[in-house]
Amino acid sequence: MKTNYHTHNFRCGHAIGDVDDYIKEAIKHNYNIIGISDHGPLPDYLFDRMTLKDFDDYIKAIDIAKLKYSIKIYKGLEIEYFPEFIKYYKSLKEKLDYLVLGPHYIIENNNLISSWEINTKSRLNLYTKQLLAAMNTNLFDFIAHPDLFTNANTTWDKDFEEASIKICKTAKELNIPLEINANGIRKGFKDTNLGPRYNYPRYEFWEIAKKYEVKVLINSDCHTPKELHDEAVEKAYEFANSLSLNIIYKFL
């Protein structure tokens, strides 16, 4: 079976192509399921994402595509977690098949800090605490790139191990799949204290995921149609298979 549940389009402001373009690419590569999951709108437009007006057009585009194509199409969003928006997330999910947690930011002293800047123990603790809180809401159907927190560091240490254990243990307990994200593979390798590693997926994190028998989704995180099934996606499967991870293809 061939599936992808992490698919963007032009509405987020940093991708190209519309819903149909990605669906046609999935059909071209004989996919069974495609989930469209662009970055969702947040109140006050906190980020450069789609607007609420864009969201209505987005829903309409997917609904039309469902009638137009024979491939199975699911309607989703990738979104940040902030506890003050719980009711808002619930209202969004009523219009969707699934909701993806994309942890790109933490809140530190009322400031937004990118997950690419998790460069202190206190920030790592905040990232972990925020991610676990989101998982415990039962609003999110899988976690996109859960290992994003390793990006700012070249050294894997006990703090990263402990954070990874907490995340993987919670994912197992709550039966929430974690995603191996091919976009990290597109970014190439970096030198670390343990040798060359992808920015993400981070090998040591996924060793822990294997220990906890976490369910694993492999997704493209494509921002152009040609990325839906490219060399990075193939390498993501090779990476997962090298660790004998528990790959799943359906979660809905």
pTM value is 0.96
What is the chain's pLDDT, residue by residue, as a tens digit (252 residues)?
999 999 999 999 999 999 999 999 999 999 999 999 999 998 875 666 788 889 999 999 999 999 999 999 999 999 999 999 999 999 999 999 999 999 999 999 989 899 989 999 999 999 999 999 999 999 999 999 999 999 888 899 999 999 999 999 999 999 999 999 999 999 999 999 999 999 999 999 999 999 999 999 999 999 999 999 999 999 999 999 999 999 999 999
The reported pLDDT for the residue numbered 48 is 64
CA distance 49 to 171: 27
The reported pLDDT for the residue numbered 222 is 99
Q: Which domains does the chain have, with CATH numbers?
A: 3-247 (3.20.20.140)
Q: Are strands 72-79 and 33-39 parallel, antiparallel or unpaired?
A: parallel
- 3-class state of residue 189 by DSSP: strand
CA distance 233 to 23: 16
C-beta neighbour count of 152 within 10 angstroms: 16
The reported pLDDT for the residue numbered 153 is 85
CA neighbor of 218 nearest in space, from 243, 237, 239, 198: 237
The reported pLDDT for the residue numbered 139 is 98
The reported pLDDT for the residue numbered 52 is 86
The reported pLDDT for the residue numbered 49 is 79
CA distance 89 to 175: 20
- 3-class state of residue 63 by DSSP: helix
| Residues 6-46 pLDDT 10s | 999 999 999 999 999 999 999 999 999 999 999 999 887 56
CA distance 220 to 146: 14
The reported pLDDT for the residue numbered 47 is 65
